[in-house]
Structure 1
Amino acid sequence: MLDDPRLAPRSGNKATSLVVLLHGYGADGRDLIDLGEYWAPLLPDAAFASPHAPEPLAIAPVGRQWFGYTERDDRERWIGVQSANAALDGFLDAELARLDLPGGRLALVGFSQGTMMALHTGLRRKVAPAGIVGFSGIHVLPPAAGIDAFDAEITSRPPILLIHGDADAVVAPDYLPRAVESLQARGMNVRAHMTRGLGHGIDRTGLTLAGNFLQEVLD
């Protein structure tokens, strides 16, 4: 079972929703948990959890990974999101049960490799999350021969917000329109924002857009 930093609701009340923050390659749950502090005024009754990815980083003595990288291609990413799906899905179930919340009161927020996991696992939940936010990520697709099985696995279609920087040198900005096209083709309601001059990161504009989106879908 994954472990994580957590934040209780700012209001002091019982949580009415859960926002799970999924970090990028080489970071850990502590990297994103401060987003919960930033959004807490908008979501005072939300609990936040930022799980550490299940694997130690393969190329350094510190940090975590949802899956390993060597080739950084579509095939490797597809194998990776599949391998990490069960651990994340189980964590989401356990955290919702701990807070006594239904699956529809869950929102997922990912950064980079965490966005890949948020989209992969979120669209396969038995109960659709309230929404998914993805920063600087990729909607991972299988090889062409596996598209039919891929489509059959999609069980939920939550609203989605994707944010990317047009100066991202780690995950190319072209992945944003590709994600929008593939998700819309599968019946998703997708909003997208490309931030001028932003590299591989999250800026204040993205934080504001994401916070407003989360407030909307969890209201």
Structure 2
Amino acid sequence: MSAHPSLDPSVVRWSVPPSERGDRPVLVLLHGYGSDEHDLFGLVPYLPERFAVASLRAPLAPQWPMPGASWYPIEGLDGRDPDAVTAAAHAVLSWVQDAVGPAPVGLLGFSQGGAVALQTLRVAPAAVAFTVVLAGYAADGELPGDAVLAAQRPPVFWGRGAADDVIPTALVDMTAQWLPAHSELSGRVYPGLTHSISQDELDDVRAFLEARLEDLDAHAQA
């Protein structure tokens, strides 16, 4: 695996200033291909207010003329190198270790950001409390953390549109087999939804995140 790129901490968007973060749980947003840290930040009003939300910018530039940033290169619909996804996951993990500290961390990613969110969980199961994957997928191959996930089954939400033709069918099918064996899976396939996010999906995500807050509270009281 190649050396992972580094993320620029100066462009991270936070929902609350440093003085208000304290020990609040942190939800990290990972945008899709050709986007940036401003895109998913628009979801903040739909998410539980208790989270301190951090929206990251991917470290790479997509091929011209695509604007924005990317987590890993895409060469055609089928050109997704698992090693590049893992390198991006290590970049996210490094940022989390530097910027968040001991606070509980969850990841929410869209499209290739969803793939990176899930890959980060696979790289470091102990560092990620839960993952939300929207229109994303599980990268091919095996990682050392997969055995840990199969035993511990952390909470994962996977939402995708029935009309999404961006993620290759083979990756969707593989993810549908991989996730039940490695997570406490919840989620939904949304009729008519393309490669995007719907209000119904946001409602389901919010319910999932509220349940994760309840889990954190129960763990703190144990």
TM-score bin, normalised by smaller chain = 0.7 to 0.9
| Matching of residue 8 in structure 1 with residue 12 in structure 2 | no
- Number of residue equivalences: 200
Listed as ranges, the gaps of 5+ residues in structure 2 are 1-5, 215-222
Alpha-carbon distance between aligned partners in 2 of 1:217 and 1:173, rounded to the nearest angstrom: 30
Aligned to 1:78: 82
**Hey, what does 1:161 align to over in structure 2?**
157
Q: Any idea what the Cα deviations from partners look like across 1:25-65, whole Å, max 9, x if unmatched?
A: 000111001212221xxx33210011000112222363000
User: Does structure 1 residue 57 correspond to structure 2 residue 52?
Assistant: no
Partner AA of 2:174 in structure 1: R
1:197 aligns with 2:192: yes
Cα pair distance change 1:217/1:55, threshold 3 Å:
same
1:17 pairs with 2:9? no
The correspondence for 1:47, drawn from 52, 65, 73, is: 52
CA RMSD of aligned residues (A): 2.1
Tell which deviates more after alignment, 190-199 or 170-179.
Answer: 170-179
Q: Deviations over 1:109-134 (max 9, x none)?
A: 01000010000011222525221111
3-state DSSP class of the match of 2:115? helix
Matches within 5 A, 1:120-159: 120-125=119-124, 127-142=126-141, 147=142, 150=143, 152-154=144-146, 155-156=148-149, 157-159=153-155
- 2:56 alignment partner AA: P
Partner of 1:29: 37
CA distance in 2, matches of 1:182, 1:61: 31
In the TM superposition, residue 6 of structure 1 has moved relative to its aligned partner by 1.1
> Scaled by the length of structure 1, what TM-score is found?
0.82
* 8 A Cα contact 1:176 1:192, kept in partner: no
Structure 2 counterpart of 1:184, one-letter code: P
SS in 1 for 2:131: strand
Q: Which TM-score applies when normalising by structure 2?
A: 0.81
- Cα separation, 2, equivalents of 1:79 and 1:72: 17
* Aligned residues of 1:136 and 1:164 also touching (Cα < 8 A): yes
Q: How does 1:173-188 map to 2 (within 5 A)?
A: 175-185=171-181, 187-188=182-183
Measure, in 2, the Cα distance between the counterparts of 1:108 and 1:82: 15
Contact 1:123–1:158 (CA under 8 A) maintained in structure 2: no
Task: Measure how far apart 1:21 and its partner are.
Answer: 0.6
Which SS does the other structure have where 1:87 is aligned?
helix
Structure 2 Cα separation of the partners of residues 209 and 72 of structure 1: 28
Could you list the runs of 5+ residues in structure 1 that have no partner in the other structure?
A: none
